[in-house]
Amino acid sequence: MSSVKIERPRGTRDFLPDEMEKRRAVERLMREIVESYGYREVCTPTFEHLELFTLKSGEGILEEIYAFKDKGGRDLALRPELTAPVMRLFVNECKVMPRPLRFYYFANCFRYERPQRGRYREFWQFGVELIGSDRPESEAEVIAIAYRILERLGLDFELRIGHVGVLRELLKDLNEEKSSKIMRLIDKGEMDELEEYMNELNLGELYEKIKEIVKVKGKSDVIERLDLKKDVKERITKVCSLCDAYEVEYSIDLSIVRGLDYYTGIVFEAYAEGLGAQKQVCGGGSYRLAHVFGGEDTPSTGFAIGFDRVMEVCKIEPERKLKIAVVNAGDYELALRVAENLRREVKAEIVMDVMGRSLKKQLSHFKDYDFALIVGKREVESGIYSLKDLKTGVQEKLNFEKVVEKLKKEVKE
């Protein structure tokens, strides 16, 4: 029977150990930051009922996701994002929990789209949802957490804050289909197509107003110069003031609309250098979704970070572990027992040869490690072991306790 080489599916990746160590280091830092603000992790199924995603995004999303029928004929889909699943979880499981709820997640998602740099058919998202508060304090907290993560990861990035209410007010007299299309075109930055579409609708004057609004960019003082509804102006001003207290650097950008109908107020996005055209690494804002999934109308604020895009440009490197080789000098089982004892005492990478190599070949194989602990029958009977520093070549005779003491010191250093 001839063998067949099977390639991985298009738009997916394999990760080798070096890459996984870096990804885990970044993930640990993200978790550490959000947990310091009181957020706790939740986890939802990899697949959900298809309706969960079509309810908020319409049937058009079917072209973009992995949808399928199971053996019972149920319509299911691999999750394309995490906000909807987390809100379903909230409606199903968290009705009586005190508000606000601070949740975070880290998981893989799936979209059927053309793969390109930083965009894959299987990708990972890290995000938070603050559920139950519609106050500016909650919006500023979520923005600050996103900013802190990107800052700690060493990204060269820009954070922009907007408010969907500004453009929604201009479009309030249009039907949902027309206003949604206009918002999507603004979100994509397709102003020429927007102008053409609005002229077709005899809305040229309204287009000019929109064009002026989306040009508004700058520091928080630009808000004072705009003719906005009082509540919108006050909300943006207060959120900006709180972001200043958090020492968050940002600019106002009223062209940010996030492209999804469920956003209700403050929205924000972050863009990182080094990613070419696909430079957005984070997006979020205030929204209301719980009522769509059968719950109460509940205010929420959240964001999602595109983990794969962050990995393209982040500066974090995994901490290097101390690497120790326990070298078998004739009796593998004796060396194995010593290695197990050492693992109980020292937090390090402790490896033995499993290829039956000679003592000399073992030392050669492990030449890039930090230390070699040579263990044979004579060493075990005497209780004195040879610990060789493989970087300097210095070899010491030490009892087991001294070996542990020295290696623990090396781990700390």
Number of C-beta neighbours around residue 222 at 10 A: 15
Q: Three-state DSSP class for 201?
A: coil
For residue 275, what pLDDT is reported? 87
Residues 343 and 275 in one domain: no
The pTM of this model reads: 0.92
pLDDT of residue 260: 62
Three-state DSSP at 384 gives strand
* CA atoms of 353 and 360, how far apart (whole Å): 12
Cis peptide bond upstream of 318, omega within 30: no
For 224-273, the pLDDT digits (tens) are: 878 888 999 999 999 999 999 999 999 999 888 875 667 889 999 999 99
**Strand pairing class (349-352; 323-328):** parallel
- Which of 260, 292, 313 terminates a domain? The answer is 313
pLDDT of residue 36: 98
Residues lower than pLDDT 70 in the chain: 1, 58, 118, 259-261, 413
User: Which pLDDT belongs to residue 413?
Assistant: 66
pLDDT of residue 34: 98
Q: Residue 63 class from Cβ within 10 Å (0-12 exposed, 13-18 middle, 19+ buried)?
A: exposed
Give the per-residue pLDDT at 259.
57
* pLDDT of amino acid 118: 66
Residue 5 has what pLDDT?
93
Does residue 381 share a domain with residue 264? no
228, 341: one domain: no
Q: Could you tell me if 293 and 55 are in contact, meaning their C-beta atoms sit under 8 angstroms apart?
A: yes
User: What integer pLDDT is reported at residue 221 of this predicted model?
Assistant: 83
**What's the CATH number where 23 sits?**
3.30.930.10
Q: Are residues 288 and 374 in the same domain?
A: no
In the chain, % helix, strand, coil (3-state, to 5) comes to 40, 25, 35
Minimal CA–CA distance to 222: which of 266, 265, 252?
252
In a domain, 218, yes or no: yes
Q: Are residues 377 and 278 in the same domain?
A: no
**Contact at 8 Å (CB) between 376 and 330?**
yes
Do 123 and 190 have their domain in common? yes
CA distances from 380 to 20, 84, 336, 338, 383 (A): 37, 60, 11, 9, 5
- Tally of domains within the chain: 2
pLDDT at 368: 96
Domain holding 332, by residue range, is 323-406
State pLDDT tens for residues 117-127.
Answer: 767 999 999 99
Interatomic CA distance for residues 413 and 407, integer angstroms: 10
256 and 327 share one domain:
no
391 and 295 within one domain: no
Question: Based on the domain organization, do 265 and 362 belong to the same domain?
Answer: no
